[in-house]
Structure 1
Amino acid sequence: MYRRLVLKLSGQSIAGSAQFGFNSDSLTHLAREVIAARDTGVQVAVVVGGGNVFRGNRSEDWGIDRVEADNIGMLGTVINAVLLRGRLAAMGEEDVRLMTAIPINNLAEPYIRLRALRHLEKGSIVLLGCGNGQPFTTTDYPAVQRAIELGADALLVAKNGTDGVYDADPNKVAGAQRFDRLTYQQVIDKGLGVMDQSAFILARDHRLPLHVFDIDRQGAAAAISSGEHIGTVIS
Structure 2
Amino acid sequence: MYERIVIKLSGQAIAGGAGFGFDSTSLTHLATEVLAARATGVQVAVVVGGGNVFRGNRAEEWGIDRVEADNIGMLGTVINAVLLRGRLTALGATDVRLMTAIPINNLAEPYIRLRALRHLEKGSVVILACGNGQPFTTTDYPAVQRAIELDADALLVAKNGTDGVYDADPNRVPTAERFDRLSYADVIARGLNVMDQSAFILARDHRLPLHVFDIDARSAATAICKGEPIGTLIS
Same topology, TM > 0.5: yes
Alignment of 1:2-151 (within 5 A): 2-151=2-151
Unaligned runs of 5+ in 1: none
Cα deviation digits, residues 168-211 of structure 1 (max 9, x gap): 00001110000000000000000000000000000000000000
> Helix, strand or coil: the match of 2:37?
helix
- Counterpart amino acid of residue 150 in structure 1: L
Please say if 1:214 is aligned against 2:214: yes
Q: Distance in 2 between matches of 1:151 and 1:100?
A: 18
Please say if 1:182 is aligned against 2:182: yes
Q: Distance in 1 between matches of 2:71 and 2:189?
A: 33
Please say if 1:165 is aligned against 2:172: no
Q: Distance in 1 between matches of 2:231 and 2:19?
A: 23
> Helix, strand or coil: the match of 2:152?
coil
Give the Å deviation of 1:230.
0.1
What is the Cα-based RMSD across aligned positions, in Å?
0.3
The aligned length equals 235
Give the Å deviation of 1:139.
0.0
Give the Å deviation of 1:19.
1.6
Cα deviation digits, residues 49-86 of structure 1 (max 9, x gap): 00000000000000001000000000000000000000
- Counterpart amino acid of residue 216 in structure 1: D
Q: Distance in 1 between matches of 2:33 and 2:19?
A: 21
Q: Distance in 2 between matches of 1:158 and 1:62?
A: 29
> Helix, strand or coil: the match of 1:5?
strand
Q: Distance in 2 between matches of 1:56 and 1:121?
A: 34
> Helix, strand or coil: the match of 2:8?
strand
Q: Distance in 2 between matches of 1:85 and 1:215?
A: 18
Q: Distance in 1 between matches of 2:87 and 2:27?
A: 7
After TM superposition, the score normalised by the length of structure 1 is 1.00
Please say if 1:233 is aligned against 2:233: yes
Q: Distance in 1 between matches of 2:216 and 2:223?
A: 13
Q: Distance in 1 between matches of 2:229 and 2:120?
A: 24
- Counterpart amino acid of residue 19 in structure 2: Q
Q: Distance in 2 between matches of 1:226 and 1:98?
A: 26
Runs of 4+ residues over 2 Å off in structure 1: none
- Counterpart amino acid of residue 120 in structure 1: L
> Helix, strand or coil: the match of 1:16?
helix
Give the Å deviation of 1:134.
0.1
> Helix, strand or coil: the match of 2:44?
strand
> Helix, strand or coil: the match of 2:136?
coil
Q: Distance in 2 between matches of 1:91 and 1:82?
A: 14
- Counterpart amino acid of residue 7 in structure 1: I
Q: Distance in 2 between matches of 1:211 and 1:219?
A: 14
> Helix, strand or coil: the match of 2:46?
strand
- Counterpart amino acid of residue 198 in structure 2: S
Give the Å deviation of 1:29.
0.1
Cα deviation digits, residues 203-233 of structure 1 (max 9, x gap): 0000000000000000000110111110000
